[in-house]
Amino acid sequence: MSALRTWLADRFRRGRVGRAARLLPLAPSPAAIERVVAWLSRFRLLRPLMEGILPVPRMLRDETVQLEIRMAPYRLRATRVLFTITLALLLLSLVGAVVLSLLPVSGFLRAGAWLFTLLPLLGFLRTVHQMLLYYQWRFILTNKRIIIIAPEPRRSGFADVIYLKGGKIQVVDTAWSSSSLWGLFQAMTGARDVILSLTGYEFKPEGAEVKGGLRFPDVMPEDIVKLEEIIFG
């Protein structure tokens, strides 16, 4: 009887796991976007599009990941708070617009209510894009090469994979964020934008500047130390 109960419990647990894997992942979690993209990738027509949004690097034979660096955790936490706020404002504005549409008010007021919903909608889409950036920026060190996943500068929302042979990066420089919001977070946490370059510095009368560098935003100080040890160690 005990063996039968154990078998039934195991079958029930596997059934729950299987059903959860088939359901659309709507529950909010730190990896919600990754799970949504993985779920949409099950459809053949959407797979190339999803691979362009969150690409998965192609690993070589016997290649193993030794280190992975992402943006600072506060980027994800802050955007999740903004996501909740903008979503609530969007829902409230939609409810208000629907209620005004049912009431005997002027058409101008109704049109203004619907136009007002565009503001929280734009904020919501902007927040989703910022959350997506957190998952797109990745620095991966393997036992054979360096892999950098970065947003595509000419296509908003898409990312590209860069494969580099070890030793190609010549300069690792740090800089403050150009955003005043993330610059405030950097001042409190010690994080910095990291500029990676294959060529080196260009000396000017006012100082030195990294030539043709890739700017990896908001890297925590301990990850910067690891990165320097990888490149120059």
Q: What is the pLDDT of residue 211?
A: 66
What pLDDT does residue 25 have?
36
**pLDDT value at position 209?**
63
DSSP secondary structure string for all residues of the chain: -HHHHHHHHHHHHHHHHHHHHHS---S--TTHHHHHHHHHTTSTTTHHHHHHHS--PPPPTT--EEEEE-S-HHHHHHHHHHHHHHHHHHHHHHHHHHHHHHSS--HHHHHHHHHHTHHHHHHHHHHHHHHHHHHH-EEEEESSEEEEEEE-TTSTT-EEEEEEETT---EEEEE--SSHHHHHHHHHH--EEEEEESSEEEEETTEEEEES-EEEEEE-HHHHHHHHHHHH-
> From CA 233, how far away is CA 145, in angstroms rounded?
15
pTM more than 0.85: no
Distance of CA 170 to the CA centre of its chain: 26
Q: Return the closest-CA partner of residue 143 out of 67, 70, 197, 198.
A: 67
Nearest to 77 by CA among 29, 8, 40, 37: 29
Q: Given this model, what pLDDT does residue 6 score?
A: 55
Which residues lie across from 160 on neighbouring strands? Answer: 150
Give pLDDT, residue 28: 39
Give the pLDDT score at 214. Answer: 86
pLDDT in tens, the chain (233 residues): 555 455 545 554 444 434 433 433 333 344 566 677 777 777 777 778 878 888 888 888 888 888 889 999 999 899 989 999 999 999 999 998 888 888 887 878 888 888 889 999 999 999 989 988 998 999 998 888 889 999 988 888 889 998 988 767 778 888 899 899 899 999 999 999 998 887 766 666 565 666 667 889 999 999 999 888 887 76
- Going 208 to 213 to 219 to 221, the CA torsion angle's sign is negative
pLDDT at residue number 33: 66
Per-residue confidence (pLDDT) for residue 200, from 0 to 100? 67
